Each structure stands twice: as structure tokens, then as C-alpha cells.
Amino acid sequence: MQNQPTSFASKPASRREFLRTTAMAATAAAAAPLLRTPVYGQNQAPSVNVLGANNRIVVGYIGTGNMGQTHIRTQKAHANQNNIVQAAVCDVSKYRAAQARALIGDNVEVYHDYRKLLERKDIDAVTISTVDHWHARCTIDALNAGKHVYVEKPMTRYLGEAFEVYDTVKKTGKILQVGSQGCSDLKWHKAAEWIRAGKIGPVVMAQGSYMRNTPKGEWNYTIESWATPEDIDWEFWLGPVHRRKPFDPDDYFRWRKYYPYCGGLLSDLVPHKAHPYLLATGNPHFPVRVACVGSKPVGTDKNTQGTPPRDVPEIVQIIAEFPDGMVMHITSSSVNEQGTQEMIRGHMATLTMAGNRVELRPERPFADELDPETSEPFPVESVEAHEKNWFDSIRANKQPNCGIELAIRVQTIVSLAEISERLNVMCVFDPNTRKVATANGQPVTIPTYGWSELS
């Protein structure tokens, strides 16, 4: 609904229309070089085995821990609506694999090695909810096996892996969705619509936050008695991780705290903001510069008996700059839950997202020419909506809301932020060479497994 103050009533409508048209033209002109580069998937031959609208999609699940079971439950609840059948599960834990089978039913096949699941010709798509350091390998193998992929965020543990996934999606033509469900929240699509229409002028800044306050330490999950070396294939679970250690249930359940397996807030919470902000701003660029600071001011792990201090920070702040001049600022915390106002700033107006609606506020110099506006409220974000978008995109052979082009750019932000924070440098990125340098031009070796003791 559009709210029009009475003080605007005396202004000529033609004047407002002229300014709106001018803003739209300027925005379109700025985007013109980008539009000459086709978005991946638009000018691409259809992938083999494209499913028709009425074809049932057969799904397998790789990784059946907490998030894996969430996907099993939500997809089972909407199986008829999405026309899917749940056929197979895989986990390195016998207990968790049995749990997953019980959730679906006795007719589901259970696998210990995900590669055996991928050999099944009847499986069309897989949902991957493993630990982060297995995301890339499972995704690449699944794509090469002809499967469509829904992989939890972050897309990969390290940046080099992300480009391996990117290249494999391009090669295979399969549909990949990253599990950042905010991208299927309609308020971000409304914001994108208004930005494309030139309603806020050139976008200059986006800011957001994902904040929690966990006195006993974020991710200090309960260690269950069933988790033993007899139940869990520990060496398989470690996979590509460089630091080898004997079975440790603390690492198994609380892996998000430790650098060999995860980037902490940067890889768990920040993607939930970075993905929808890039979607809304319509920014197709890789970042040119990224800086991040992090700290552990509280030391919350001391409040949980028997767990070591975390490797990862309790607070992070990221600033990312893009070639068109837009700057993105994202804050995340596990020791304070007061967030910043969700906001996209344009030269002519600012968008805020509160109450799951979008509000347009003209900037003071343009207050006489632009009308404030507030959208209708939208349903809150949900995993179910994001999964449905993936299934619909598979059938339509189109890119989903968090497809590979968006995901590779966000993973670049996340990975550069980790490099910046851990090495205390400003990261400069060249998307043509996929190389990273410091602000003074010194090359940075992109981290991977084995680059440090905690890797």
C-alpha cells in the first residue's frame, strides 16, 4: 500500500514521474554492461534428464544430523505437494542413519558411503547436510553423477573448493540450491523489484546483522551417549581435514567452534544475510575488497564444563566493497543479540526491512519528489519454501533463488572475510584470475586443507 503525505499533494505528478523515469533510466544505464553478459542458465542447453512438471523427483539425503533431519521432516511433510519420494539416506553414524530411516519409513535404503548412494540411477536429486568440510566433495561428486543438489550453507569450507563446485555446475548443467532460506523470503524479492524499478536510485550501501547471545557458548550442543568410535566412522568423518586426532565427541557435536571444520559465525550465520542482500540489490559482482575483524570478548566456553575454548570469534564485522561502489556491512555475534536495522541505502531513498515488510523512505533531498511506500507483510522465511523453490527449479530447468551465481559470490565474501580476520589483512580479489592479494599488492595463498595447523 502506498502512503502519500498530504504535503506532497500539491506537487505536480509530472514532476514526480519525470524524476522516477530519470532514476530508472540511470539505473538501467549503470546495469547495461552487466546485462550484456548472460546470466548462467538463460542461454544454456537444457540439462539431460530434465524432469517434466508431472514427474516425481526421487531424493536422497547425505548427512542426517540435526539439519539433515530437518530437511527429511520438511520434505516428507510436503512430499505430495512437491511430488517427491524419499529413497535413500547416508551417514557415517549408524545411529543417525537409523534415525533418518525411521523418520522416512522402512522402505528407504541406508548407506554408509555417499558414493554408493550416488551410484543409484533412480535418484534425481540429493540434499547435502554434512559437516562443512564435506560439502564440496559430496556436491561435486553428486553433480558429476547427474544429480541436482541442495547443499547447506556455506557452500564450501574454502574458496578454491567453491570455484570447483562452480565449474562443475557450469559443466553439468545441474540445478544447485544453497540452503540460505532467506533467499526465498518474498520481502527480499519485493526489495529487488523496487530497486530494479529505480525507486531508490543507485544503491550505495547495504547493512544487516545476525545476532545471538548464548551464555554457555554458541554451538556447545549436548554430547550424546551413542556417539562412540564403534558408531561413527571417525576417519571418514574427518575426510580432507589436515589435523588428524583421535575420536573426539566434542569435535563431532561442536565442530562449528573449530577452524579445521568450520569458519564459525562467518560460515554459519553470515551467509543468511549476505545471500538475500546480494539478491535484493541485484548486485552480480564479486567483491573487490573485503575486510573483517573478529574477537572473543566474553569467552563463553568457560561456562560449559569439559569443552575447550573455541577457535572462532564470538563477534565478527565484515565490510565488502563491490566494483560499482556499493558497500556491504554485516555484523554477527554469539554474545549479544541486539541487531542493526536491516537496510539498503540508495542515493534517493532507503529501504528498511522490519515486520517482514519493505518500507521505502525518501532521502531528505528528494523528499519533495518521492513518495514513501510500505509493502504488504510477507510470510516469514521458511526452509519449506526454499526447498519448494529448488524442486520447482529442477522441473523448470531454471536457476533457483540461491543458485550458483549468487552462491559463488557470497562464498567469496565469506572466504575473504575469514582470510582477512585470521591473517589481519585487507583482501583484494580478482575474479578473472581468482587470486587474492593484500591492499599493497602482496599475493595471498588461498587457504585450504593443510595451510595451517588448524585446517
Predicted confidence at residue 22, as pLDDT, reads: 42
**CB-hemisphere CA count at 13 Å for 230?**
2
- Diameter over CA atoms, the chain: 78
356 torsion bin: left (phi>0), alpha (psi -120 to 50), beta (else): left
Distance CA 384, CA 389 (A): 9
Handedness of CA 382, 386, 389, 395 (dihedral sign): negative
Residues 6+ apart with CB under 8 A from 181: 272, 381, 382, 383, 385, 386
> pLDDT per position in the chain (455 positions), as tens?
333 332 323 333 444 443 444 444 444 433 333 222 223 233 333 333 445 556 899 999 999 999 999 999 999 999 999 999 999 999 999 999 999 999 999 899 999 999 999 999 999 999 999 999 999 999 999 999 999 999 999 999 999 999 999 999 999 999 999 999 999 999 999 999 999 999 999 999 999 999 999 999 999 999 999 999 999 999 999 999 999 999 999 999 999 999 999 999 999 999 999 999 999 998 779 999 999 999 999 999 999 999 999 999 999 999 999 999 999 999 999 999 999 999 999 999 999 998 999 999 999 999 999 999 999 999 999 999 999 999 999 999 999 999 999 999 999 999 999 999 999 999 999 999 999 999 999 999 999 999 999 99
Predicted confidence at residue 451, as pLDDT, reads: 96
Predicted confidence at residue 52, as pLDDT, reads: 59
β-bridge mates for residue 213, sequence order: 335
Contact 125, 371 (CB under 8 A): no
- With CA atoms as reference, report the closest residue to 114 among 102, 98, 100, 130: 130
- With CA atoms as reference, report the closest residue to 174 among 143, 145, 205: 143
Predicted confidence at residue 37, as pLDDT, reads: 28
SS (H, E, C) the chain: CECCCHHHCCCCHHHHHHHHHHHHHHHHHHHHHHHCCCCCCCCCCCCCCCCCCCCCEEEEEECCCHHHHHHHHHHHHCHHHHCEEEEEEECCEHHHHHHHHHHHCCCCEEECCHHHHHCCCCCCEEEECCCHHHHHHHHHHHHHCCCEEEEECCCCCCHHHHHHHHHHHHHHCCCEEEECHHHHCHHHHHHHHHHHCCCCCCEEEEEEEEEEECCCCCCCCCCCCCCCCCCECHHHHHCCCCCCCCCCHHHHHCHHHCCCCCCCHHHHCCHHHHHHHHHHHCCCCCCCEEEEEEECCCCHHHHCCCCCCCCCCCEEEEEEECCCCCEEEEEEECEECCCCCCEEEECCEEEEEECCEEEEEECHHHCCCCCCEECCCCCCCCHHHHHHHHHHHHHHCCCCCCCHHHHHHHHHHHHHHHHHHHHCCCEEEECCCCEEECCCCCEECCCCCCCCCCC
Q: What is the pTM of this model?
A: 0.89
Predicted confidence at residue 2, as pLDDT, reads: 36
- What structural domains and CATH numbers belong to the chain? 57-183 (3.40.50.720), 184-380+404-444 (3.30.360.10)
